[in-house]
Amino acid sequence: MIQTTPPKTYKIKPMSPEMEQKVLKSYAESLELTERELRCPSCSFYIQTLFSDVSGHLKVKCPNCKVITTYNLSYFRRQKRYHAGRYPGSHNTIR
């Protein structure tokens, strides 16, 4: 698990073994997935990272502009412009 900011140790409680197993299993499963950023539609501030298997609706308050927005995550996927092998100049061109 990559922790970019140091945890506030005074707020940490001991984790139960079951919870620790869930956390470790979740991390191991995420290694196969790709990540994308969810940004605020109002101010483009980074809100959170989403994995490629995420779906459904999410209600989030932007930490920058404080606007609360409900997202249908299927609308906030990056659209591919070209299919693999059809991109002009691609080395994967189908012959």
Chain contacts with Zn ion (rule: CB under 5 A) = 40, 42-43, 45, 62, 64-65
Residue whose CB is less far from Zn ion, 59 or 81: 59
**68 pairs with which residues across the strands?**
61
Residue whose CB is less far from Zn ion, 64 or 74: 64
Query: What DSSP character marks residue 10?
Result: G
Residue whose CB is less far from Zn ion, 30 or 69: 69
- Contact of 33 with 13, CB cutoff 8 Å: no
In whole angstroms, how close is the CB of 19 to Zn ion at the nearest point? Answer: 32
CA gap 16, 6 in Å, rounded: 21
